Each structure stands twice: as structure tokens, then as C-alpha cells.
């Protein structure tokens, strides 16, 4: 088992089990436990949790419909209502059992219910374990804008049981792996050298890989929780990635966050090379690995145009210029890089 000390809480990583969770709960006195889950985590993860954690067998269960489309204020209202009906009070504990949708929404509900009650996360996807477990961002989407309403509110603990990933689909494992690739590219050249050799799905979520990804993100977040400075480095791949995600969703097609970020990293690496932040050899190694993991995805012309129009609304922009964070070189980063539309268009058209 590993323990990583984050901002005000610990992240516990276990291969298989809930030992740390049991220890944590045995030291606390909560008036009520409320587990928030969705129809998949209730089926795949809840019985395993309750079987291994006696204290939670008395918990009330709130089941939400899965998916990003439900990460909104209407769902929050359902949960606030259910908490009120259950009689939850300031001393209750919310237990988020799910992927990033459940932890973002459950964390936001916890941060606002009675001006803030305790919550913990038991992440059940690779993305929620390796990325969303760190940084205390909670929130929901609003009027089509991702994570538009939210808070920075820290859980009392994060309890990772890697065995919960056994039931997760291959597509969702790869989706979470995108953020592991990203953190390697901006934070640790040796970690990048290690992961770029990994080709088999089961190697993407070993204890070592998840722990290292969390440590690297944690080192950044601990120095800049409110994203005034170095936390912006975590946005590598996200400027183009978010624009691509919005363009695809507007076309009513299906895309996962990590898949969009992979495209974002491909284009942004091309830009980083044009700006001489990374060498041709580095660019080639990034694109060939991303294309191996995510299979080659090509962009249609309307999508390319839509990406540019969405990019202009990116909240990471400062003033009129489009603002990016790039590897410089791999394993380090450069922040607040203004890039012209011509360079962006040129790099998008190479895809």
C-alpha cells in the first residue's frame, strides 16, 4: 500500500482492498454515511465495498444515472433533495463511489450542502484514480460549458483500490491513460521513457504507474492549488482537446475526455515543435506513441473549423491571444505561450 500526502488529505493506493478506508472510518464519528454511485458502480463495485467495510453497511445509497450528460445542476438538486429527506446533517459523510463524474458532482454537492460537509472519494475509473484524485476540483457542467460551476474543496481522503478496475471497459482504461501520458510529458522525462514502452492494456494501470502519475500531479498541485501559476502546466493538450471535445459533442457524436486530450496533445506537440520547445525526435516519439495507444484518428474539415471557433472561447486564454502550456523539452514545461491562429490552423491541418 502507498500513501501520498496531498494538500490537506491523504491518497491511499491499494492493489486490492479497503484497509486504509476501514482505518480511516474507525477513527471518525459520523452521524450518517451516504454513498453516491451510478448504475454501473452500484452493480460492479458496491457489493465489494460493503463486503469489505462493515461500517458502510448502514449507509444510505443515492444512485444517479451515469454519464457526463448528468453532471449538471439538476442532478445536484436531486442529491441535495435526497440528503435532506435522509436527514443528513453537518456531521454526515458523503462517500463518492465512481468515476470522475461522480467525484466531481458528489464533491460539489458536499461543498455546498449546509455550507460544506465531509466527503471522501473511492475512485473506480483509471481517470478518477490517476488524475481526478488530486487537486480538489469539484464541479458540474452548465449551459453546455464543462465544469463551469464548481469549487475547490478538499476531500477528507481518497481510497484507491486498483482491483475495482477489473470491470472497467478497455475504452475507459485508455481514456484514463491519456492523463498519465500528459503528466509524464510535462513533469518527468524518465517516467515518459518508461511508459512509452508500454503497449499492453494491463500495464497501463499497474500500482507503480498510477502511484507515479499521482505523485507528479500532486507535486504541482501542492505548490499551486488555485491554478495561478504552475498548475496551468496540467493544461497541456487541453486547449485543443477541449475545443475538439466541444466540436464533436456539437456534432452529436461520441467522444471521451481522454480521447479528446490525446488529439489535443498531438496538435499541441506539433505546435511546440514549430515553436522550438521540443525537437523533431521528441515530436515523433510523442505522436507515434499516442497513435499506437489511441489508434489513428483523423479529423474532418468541418471539425477543424469548429475547433478554431471553440478555441477562441477557451477560459485559459489571456486577453486576445490564445494561451497554451507546452512540454519544453519533454519532462519540463513552458507556461503562457501565446500562439497565432495561423500556426494553430497549420498544425491542426497536419492531423
Ligand X SMILES: NC(=O)c1ccc[n+]([C@@H]2O[C@H](COP(=O)([O-])OP(=O)(O)OC[C@H]3O[C@@H](n4cnc5c(N)ncnc54)[C@H](O)[C@@H]3O)[C@@H](O)[C@H]2O)c1
Interacting residues with ligand X (CB under 6 A): 38, 40-41, 44-45, 66-68, 71, 98-102, 104, 124-125, 127-128, 131-132, 135, 137, 147, 164-165, 167-168, 172, 175, 257
3-state secondary structure of 215: helix
Cβ neighbours of 57 (radius 10 Å): 10
Which CB, 100 or 237, lies closer to ligand X?
A: 100
> Which residue, 16 or 300, has its beta carbon nearer to ligand X?
16
Residue with cell 459523510: 93
CB of 321 to ligand X, least distance (A): 25
CB 164, min distance to ligand X, A: 5
Q: How far is the CB of 172 from ligand X (least distance, A)?
A: 5
CB of 297 or CB of 304, closer to ligand X: 297
Rounded-to-integer distance, Cα 172 and Cα 155, Å: 24
Looking at the Cβ atoms of 232 and 273, the one nearer to ligand X is 232
Q: Who's near 272: CB < 8 A, 6+ residues apart?
A: 278, 283, 326, 327, 328
Beta-carbon-side half-sphere exposure of residue 183 (alpha carbons within 13 Å): 24
Smallest separation (angstroms) from ligand X to the CB of 139: 7
**Smallest distance from ligand X to CB 119, Å:** 13
Residue 11 bridge partners (DSSP): 4, 158
What residue is closest to ligand X based on CB? 100
Give me the least distance between CB of 165 and ligand X, in Å please. 6
Closest to ligand X by CB, 213 or 266? 213
Three-state DSSP at 196 gives coil
Q: Are 164 and 189 in contact (CB under 8 A)?
A: no
Measuring CA to CA, which residue among 153, 164, 166, 75 is closest to residue 120? 153
Residue 61 CB neighbours (<10 A): 16
Return the bridge partners of 5, or none: 10
Report how far Cα 158 is from the mean position of its chain's Cα atoms: 14
Nearer to ligand X, 66 or 274 (CB): 66
Would you say 101 or 247 has its CB closer to ligand X?
A: 101
C-beta of 251: minimal distance to ligand X in Å?
Answer: 19
**Taken in order 164, 167, 172, 173, is the CA torsion positive or negative?**
positive
Amino acid at each position: 500500500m502507498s500513501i501520498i500526502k496531498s494538500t490537506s488529505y491523504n491518497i491511499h493506493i491499494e492493489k486490492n482492498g479497503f484497509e486504509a478506508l476501514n482505518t480511516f472510518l474507525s477513527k471518525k464519528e459520523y452521524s450518517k454515511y451516504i454513498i453516491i454511485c451510478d448504475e454501473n458502480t452500484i452493480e460492479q463495485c458496491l457489493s465489494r465495498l460493503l463486503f469489505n467495510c462493515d461500517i458502510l453497511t448502514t449507509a444510505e445509497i443515492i444512485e444517479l444515472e451515469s454519464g457526463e450528460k448528468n453532471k449538471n445542476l439538476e442532478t445536484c438538486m436531486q442529491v441535495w433533495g435526497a440528503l435532506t429527506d435522509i436527514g443528513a446533517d453537518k456531521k454526515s459523510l458523503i462517500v463518492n463511489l465512481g468515476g470522475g463524474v461522480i467525484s466531481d458532482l458528489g464533491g460539489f454537492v458536499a461543498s455546498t450542502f449546509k455550507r460544506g460537509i465531509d466527503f471522501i472519494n473511492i475512485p473506480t475509473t483509471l481517470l478518477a484514480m490517476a488524475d481526478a484524485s488530486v487537486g480538489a476540483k469539484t464541479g458540474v457542467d452548465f449551459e453546455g460549458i464543462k465544469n463551469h460551476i464548481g469549487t475547490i474543496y478538499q476531500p477528507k481522503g481518497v481510497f484507491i483500490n486498483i482491483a475495482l478496475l477489473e470491470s472497467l471497459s478497455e475504452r475507459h482504461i485508455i481514456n484514463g491513460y491519456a492523463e498519465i501520458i500528459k503528466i509524464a510529458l510535462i513533469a518527468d522525462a524518465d517516467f515518459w521513457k518508461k511508459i512509452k514502452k508500454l503497449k499492453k492494456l494491463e500495464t497501463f494501470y499497474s500500482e507503480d504507474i498510477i502511484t507515479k502519475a499521482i505523485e507528479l500531479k500532486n507535486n504541482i498541485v501542492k505548490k499551486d492549488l488555485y491554478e495561478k501559476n504552475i498548475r496551468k502546466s496540467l493544461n497541456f493538450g487541453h486547449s485543443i482537446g477541449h475545443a475538439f471535445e466541444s466540436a464533436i459533442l456539437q456534432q452529436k457524436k461520441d467522444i471521451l475526455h481522454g480521447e479528446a486530450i490525446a488529439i489535443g496533445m498531438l496538435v499541441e506537440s506539433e505546435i511546440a515543435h514549430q515553436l522550438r520547445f521540443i525537437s523533431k525526435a521528441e515530436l515523433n516519439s510523442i505522436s507515434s506513441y499516442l497513435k499506437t495507444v489511441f489508434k489513428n484518428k483523423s479529423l474532418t474539415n468541418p471539425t477543424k473549423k469548429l475547433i478554431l471557433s471553440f478555441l477562441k472561447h477557451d477560459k485559459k486564454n489571456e486577453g486576445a491571444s490564445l494561451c497554451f502550456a507546452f512540454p519544453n523539452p519533454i519532462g519540463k514545461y513552458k507556461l503562457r505561450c501565446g500562439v497565432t491562429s495561423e500556426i494553430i490552423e497549420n498544425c491542426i491541418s497536419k492531423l
